[in-house]
């Protein structure tokens, strides 16, 4: 078993399992690189017809490992931001996530627990998403310190509901996600494995060339709508959100008080000080 992502092939299906359960499968650069490599491996395997992506432990993925990135400042460039250096780094991650969408073979995300922040980027890069009814999906960094680089919210939801999600940073459960058309379907947690297996088996019975042609045709329609250009803008904006005065305030807050406290502030509804400003001291912080 690989340290970060396990890979297994059974009955014409490749199973990729995000394998950092102690961190809720939080994303690192190494995990993103490996994801792209394993999607390529499945595409090169003539025995594989469909790829199933899942998470070990209690969640699909809780997003980037921001305890590392936010507390240590790994995604913030002091004191002067180089937008191209930032873009190159984040675009590489986006490309690795989007290997699932660009994969010639169909991809299915099996979501339990959480698929949030960068974890939602990965899930929504798959062709089909099946969620447990009680699982949660959303992009909380839309409140501060993030913009979803894959931009799949708007392509799956349309403008108004994408705005509903990204102007609030709220999460929704699997039942709501399915009702809104964000994901294919939601089933009870107990039925999730069987539902995904049934779907994957149905796809695996189709010749590879048929699968590839249908997927390329559908994806081309999204390319014609400007998907690539939207992702370029979103990836640049992601860097700006982390280097705006408010973004730097959030990172300073996380560095001084820990990422969980910064998240509690972000999600509490308390405003982020316009233009940044001093981070509250421990004595001033009180209950967040």
Whether 282 shows a pLDDT value over 90: the answer reads no
My answer on whether omega of the bond before 79 falls inside 30° of 0, hence cis, is yes
Whether 1 shows a pLDDT value over 90: the answer reads no
Looking at residue 284, its pLDDT comes to 76
Whether 234 shows a pLDDT value over 80: the answer reads yes
Q: Are 56 and 63 in contact (CB under 8 A)?
A: no
Sign of CA dihedral 253, 257, 260, 265: negative
d(CA 122, CA 63): 9
DSSP 198-243: HHHHHHHTS-HHHHHHHHHHHHHHHHHTTHHHHHHHHHHHHHHHHH
- pLDDT per position as a tens digit, 171-213: 999 999 999 999 999 999 999 999 999 999 999 999 999 999 9
For the chain, give every domain's residue range. Answer: 5-241, 244-285
- pLDDT per position as a tens digit, 260-277: 899 999 999 888 999 988
Report CA dihedral (108, 112, 113, 118) to the nearest 10 degrees: 0
Looking at residue 72, its pLDDT comes to 64
Reported confidence tier of residue 26, pLDDT bands at 50, 70, 90: very high
Considering the chain, what percentage of its residues have pLDDT values greater than 70? Answer: 95
- pLDDT per position as a tens digit, 83-134: 999 999 999 999 999 999 999 999 999 999 999 999 999 999 999 999 999 9
Residue 181 neighbours by CB under 8 Å, 6+ apart = 156, 157
Whether 67 shows a pLDDT value over 80: the answer reads no
CATH classification number, 5-241, choose in 3.10.180.10, 3.40.640.10, 3.90.226.10, 3.40.630.30: 3.90.226.10
Half-sphere exposure of 112 (CA within 13 A, CB side): 19
Residue carrying structure tokens 């959100």:
241
Reported confidence tier of residue 288, pLDDT bands at 50, 70, 90: very low
Residue 284 neighbours by CB under 8 Å, 6+ apart = none
The more confident residue out of 74 and 56 is 56
Q: Kindly report the pTM of this predicted structure.
A: 0.95
d(CA 258, CA 50): 41
Helix (H) or strand (E) holding 84, with range, is helix 83-97
Looking at residue 80, its pLDDT comes to 84
The more confident residue out of 35 and 77 is 35
Q: Which conformational region is residue 241 in: left (phi greater than 0), alpha (psi within -120 to 50 degrees), or beta?
A: alpha
- pLDDT per position as a tens digit, 235-245: 999 999 999 99
d(CA 110, CA 27): 17
Strand-pair partners of 9: 14
């Amino acid at each position: 078993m690989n340290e970060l992502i396990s890979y297994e092939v059974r009955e014409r299906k490749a199973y990729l399992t995000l394998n950092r359960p102690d961190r809720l499968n939080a994303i690192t650069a190494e995990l993103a690189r490996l994801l792209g490599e394993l999607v390529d491996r499945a595409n090169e395997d003539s025995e594989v017809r469909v790829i199933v992506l899942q998470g070990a432990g209690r969640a699909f993925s809780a997003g980037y490992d921001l305890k590392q990135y936010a507390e240590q400042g790994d995604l913030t460039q002091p004191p002067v931001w180089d937008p191209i250096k930032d873009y190159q780094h984040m675009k590489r991650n986006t490309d690795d996530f989007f290997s699932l969408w660009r994969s010639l073979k169909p991809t299915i995300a099996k979501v339990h627990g959480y698929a949030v922040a960068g974890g939602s980027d990965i899930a929504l890069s798959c062709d089909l998403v099946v969620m447990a009814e009680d699982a949660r999906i959303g992009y909380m960094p839309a409140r501060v310190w993030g913009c979803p680089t894959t931009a799949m919210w708007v392509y799956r939801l349309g403008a108004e509901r994408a705005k509903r999600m990204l102007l609030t940073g709220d999460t929704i459960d699997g039942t709501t996600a399915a009702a809104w058309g964000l994901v294919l379907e939601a089933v009870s947690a107990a039925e999730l494995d069987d539902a995904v297996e049934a779907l994957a088996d149905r796809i695996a019975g189709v010749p590879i060339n048929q699968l590839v042609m249908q997927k390329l045709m559908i994806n081309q329609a999204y390319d014609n709508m400007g998907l690539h250009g939207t992702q370029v803008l979103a990836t640049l904006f992601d860097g700006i959100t982390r280097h705006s005065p408010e973004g730097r305030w959030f990172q300073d807050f996380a560095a001084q008080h820990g990422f969980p406290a910064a998240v509690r502030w972000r999600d509490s509804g308390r405003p982020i000080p316009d233009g940044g400003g001093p981070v509250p001291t421990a004595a001033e912080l009180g209950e967040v």
